[in-house]
Amino acid sequence: MSSLRNDLQNTVVKWMDDWNAHDLKAVMELFHDDAVFISWTGQQFKGKRSIRRAWTSWFKNHGDFYFAIDFLAIDEPESLVTFGWHLLWPSRKPAQSQKKEILQGVDILHFKDRQILTKQSFCQTVVSTSAQDILRLEEEKALRAQE
């Protein structure tokens, strides 16, 4: 594996660990000052400050979330990383706020100078509330916490 490819892979894995540690400061360190984030709702945030403002409330309001990486695909010449993920978090439905749900999505990251220049998120709107799926991700989360 080439140095850049290995670096991009390790960077994304560590970055997702920062998300799972709920460490906004560490998450933001990877962003270029001129970064653009396009959320799964299509909303755009331009600049590191704008992204931080948007995510500050997200981190405060979404409780105990956990991302599991499903796959990583790296386009080394373009400095692009595409990765699939599952998100385990508290249900967004008021009547089920004490339950967890799972979303599945894909992010595309474009790097410049080894920092994220653009982040595009895509998410399926179908939510899993399967107890078996939730248990599997809860177990993975517990194992990762022990590492």
CB within 8 Å of 122: residues ≥ 6 apart: 40, 105, 106, 107, 108
Residue with tokens 């990383």: 81
pLDDT given at position 65: 87
Its CATH class, for the domain covering 3-146, is alpha beta
- What residue segments make up the domains of the chain, in order of their start? 3-146
pLDDT given at position 89: 80
pLDDT tens by residue, 79-133: 999 999 998 887 767 676 677 888 899 999 999 998 999 999 999 865 677 778 8
Q: What are phi and psi of 55, to 5 degrees?
A: -80, -20
> Does position 28 have pLDDT exceeding 90, yes or no?
yes
pLDDT given at position 1: 64
**Contact (CB, 8 A) for 116 and 30:** yes
Return the closest-CA partner of residue 88 out of 128, 120, 55.
128
CA trace torsion 4, 5, 8, 10 (10° rounding): -110
The C-alpha atoms of residue 11 and residue 5 are separated, in whole angstroms, by 10
- Helix (H/G/I), strand (E/B), else coil: 42: coil
- Helix (H/G/I), strand (E/B), else coil: 91: coil
Most confident option among 18-22, 34-38, 95-99: 34-38
